A and B are shown apart, each in its own frame.
Chain A
Amino acid sequence: MHITMQGIYKAFGTNQVLTGVDFELKEGEVHALMGENGAGKSTMMNVLTGLHSLDQGKIFVDGKEMYFKNPKEAEQAGITFIHQELNIWPEMSVLDNMFIGKEPKKAFGLVDSAKMKSLAQEQFARLDVSLPLDKEAGSCSVGEQQMIEIAKALLTKAKVIIMDEPTAALTEREIQKLFEVIASLKKEGVSIVYISHRMEEIFAICDRITVMRDGKTVDTKAIPETNFEEVVRKMVGRELTDRFPKRDSKPGETVFEVKNLTGKAFRDVSFSVRSGEIVGVSGLMGAGRTEIMRGIFGLDPIASGEVLLNGKKVTIKNANQAVHLGIGFITEDRKDEGLVLDFSIKDNIALPSLYSFAPKGLIQEKAEKDFVDMLIKRLTVKTESAETRVGDLSGGNQQKVVIAKWIGIGPKELILDEPTRGVDVGAKREIYQLMNELTNRGVAIIMVSSELPEVLGMSDRILVVHEGKIAGELPQETATQENIMTLATGGQ
């Protein structure tokens, strides 16, 4: 299938999101779509699949002018969109999720379960997924749910598959499998639109790349004819000197220490963080990194072991105690755990420090507002006012609000779990700079991250977690992607 989009305009109210987009997708190509958050990538694809109507412009499918009224119509024509926010019915089985709305029928309109099972198993075999079909989809990991979605798309015999950040939650192994599937789909003549923030992946699997900025397509190039720096430059519209700002770390005394910490998903974990130091925590998805952090922060029970703050043993049985000790936790899922989306920026930032504005019981609104405005400025959150609803901000700005909220408690120790997930390149760098600023002030930082370049670029020391244990520790100078991966996969 060959698709051409010409001069597409789309506005939501007075907000002009697409301003003359051109896009071409050839048969059997893997076409990367890159751009900062809010550049209009998803909107463009939603216009193509008929979720949004277009204001102006033309769409040609195989040379014929064609506009889909809704995603279902697009799907019937062979265009499937796997959204970043997964469409999973958590209470239903894996199998039912895969066939929802298009169950094969037998006599009397009854569902043909046998046929469903064999079709599903066929796709799972192809993806090398070993999920029980009767498992409740909600109890699957996010990575597994992503694989369900991909299998579902394959079932529709799609000729064009649009994938929005498909690897965000996948393990290394799952990602490799997905790439193999993409390669074989390509051979069958299926075209893929691959929306991602991960440069390495794009350069590994894509044929061409289109960069978008501010609702326009900036350029389309064949992958061999471009490079990483050029793409970033086109995305942000300015030179980025370095992906990671220079770190000038002078670690001080040990601030934070855990000894032989054991919980449900980890055992015998010991490590320490010094003031002004960033300790990176690497490991495969599901190795127990997040669980260790949740245990430290009092969100999950600890079976044994101790936590020391400034050399003194402390007990943390719940998040409240952790916050009072000056520990902040920026979780990996900001929408679900980091923010109250319906709250304003102000109310979110003030949430963990409310009592400091209410010495006599009533919140001193002026003090609160000044404090919040100061943090908004310091973190360069892009907004007209502190009263803006956080749910209306872009991912990068939302993440800054979460960080602001924790800076507000005056932390001694900050745990950042995937601090730049779903954040665009520009905002990423700002977050790194902020981490440097914090460590300059003596804050101790633990950074859990699945992005190896980030771990290598920002950490002073790197801990690698494998199956719930610390498999090894690498100083920044000698750490490489290879020796981290070796430890993460259980090698020595």
Chain B
Amino acid sequence: MKANSEVLQTSKGNLLQSVTQKLGPFLGLLILVVFVSVMNPSFLEPLNILNLLRQVSINALIAFGMTFVILTGGIDLSVGAILALSSALTAGMIVSGFDPMLAILIGCLLGAIFGAVNGLLITKGKMAPFIATLATMTLFRGLTLVYTEGNPITGLGDNILFQLFGRGYFLGIPVPAVTMIVTFIVLYVLLHKTPFGRQTYAIGGNEKAALISGIKVPRVKVLIYSLSGFLAALSGAILTSRLNSAQPTAGASYELDAIAAVVLGGTSLSGGKGRIFGTMIGVLIIGVLNNGLNLLGVSSFYQQVVKGIVIIIAVLLDRKKSA
């Protein structure tokens, strides 16, 4: 009897916890949306919503990769620098006559390779993820500056597919938003329906147990950092298309927005717990804040203050919930 009631109680507790865990960030987003639209009804106009989706797509792609990384208990500080380096290389290829879409593909694969470098430093080199990616962040940013000599790369031609990639619409939805949604679905399935996803959680939950269970921990980690690099490069391609140029300083501090989105989405920085759906919500919270505060005419200085406070409140609420 006692054992039964014990089990019952914990499963009830778990249910409540998992409901709040899943809905907590969502409720936060809802409150934010209601608040902003009451203050300024034009927020809810379709044009603004589509605009918002396009705005968040770059952070979303990076944050999706970051979710996998953080779920393993790691961190990737180099995503902004990978974005810049792969963008510069992609733009360079386009300028020297490559087919732009082929250049984007190669750029994304290069991003994956840069990510793999992180993964190898962390697994083979046994470096802490923070240190390894801090170093490669500086390294990749430096390489970008060397390659571009500090100047933007322009003159990317007028290939229509390339222009659509960052600026176009598909069935009325901005192409970057479509890319984001498709990527989300693919990654959602990868994380929640495949052995790879389960192994990602297992590594973050208990790396030793994962290893002893026969999981190729180093391989999974290298693949995850490659994924993170790939997605950073993909978002870089969107940015390059939108600006019609590659900026050597592009993506600076994007890693912080991505980490903020992951944390807002309820994923634990110590790994093993979290959901990619939460990250999507986290990305939207940051997006609505940016977009809404602009609509409300809040100065960009105060916007940062508000964003910081929102992150603190979100994490504090999360603590309280799990305590």
Contact = CB atoms under 8 A, between A and B. Distances in A.
Nearest to B203: A340
B216 interface: yes
Interface in B184-240: 189, 193-195, 198-199, 201-202, 205-206, 208-216
Interface residues of B, number: 33
A214 B1 CA distance: 9
Given A329-B212, A358-B194, A362-B193, A387 B199 contact: no
Interface string B248-284: 0000000000000000000000001100000000000
Contacts of B13: 13
A384 B14 CA distance: 13
B10 A392 contact: yes
A38 B3 contact: yes
A153 B294 CA distance: 61
Which of A16, A322, A340, A384 neighbours the largest number of chain B CB atoms within 10 Å of its CB?
Answer: A340
B14 to A, nearest CB: 6
The 8 closest A-B pairs by CB, nearest first: A323-B214, A340-B205, A354-B195, A384-B7, A352-B213, A340-B206, A351-B213, A392-B10
A299 B213 CA distance: 11
A489 B8 CA distance: 49
A363 interface: yes
B212 A331 contact: yes
B11 interface: yes
30 contacts: A13-B13, A14-B8, A15-B9, A214-B2, A320-B216, A324-B214, A329-B212, A336-B208, A340-B202, A340-B205, A340-B210, A341-B205, A341-B206, A343-B201, A343-B202, A343-B205, A350-B198, A351-B198, A351-B202, A351-B209, A351-B213, A352-B214, A352-B215, A358-B195, A362-B193, A363-B193, A382-B3, A384-B4, A387-B14, A388-B7
A318 B2 CA distance: 42
B5 interface: yes
A490 to B, nearest CB: 31
A388 B8 CA distance: 9
B210 A351 contact: yes
A309 B188 CA distance: 40
A347 B210 CA distance: 11
Interface string A274-300: 000000000000000000000001010
Contacts of B213: 319, 323, 351-352, 405
Contacts of A6: none
A167 B256 CA distance: 48
A355 B213 CA distance: 12
Contacts of A392: 7, 10
Interface of A: 13-16, 38, 214-215, 297, 299, 318-320, 322-324, 329, 331, 336-343, 347, 350-352, 354-355, 357-358, 361-363, 382-385, 387-389, 392, 405, 409
A240 B4 CA distance: 23
Contacts of B189: 362
Contact of B212 (A214, A299, A409): A299
Given A340-B205, A362-B189, A388-B10, A215 B2 contact: yes
A309 to B, nearest CB: 16
A214 B212 CA distance: 35
Contacts of B4: 384
A382 B205 CA distance: 23
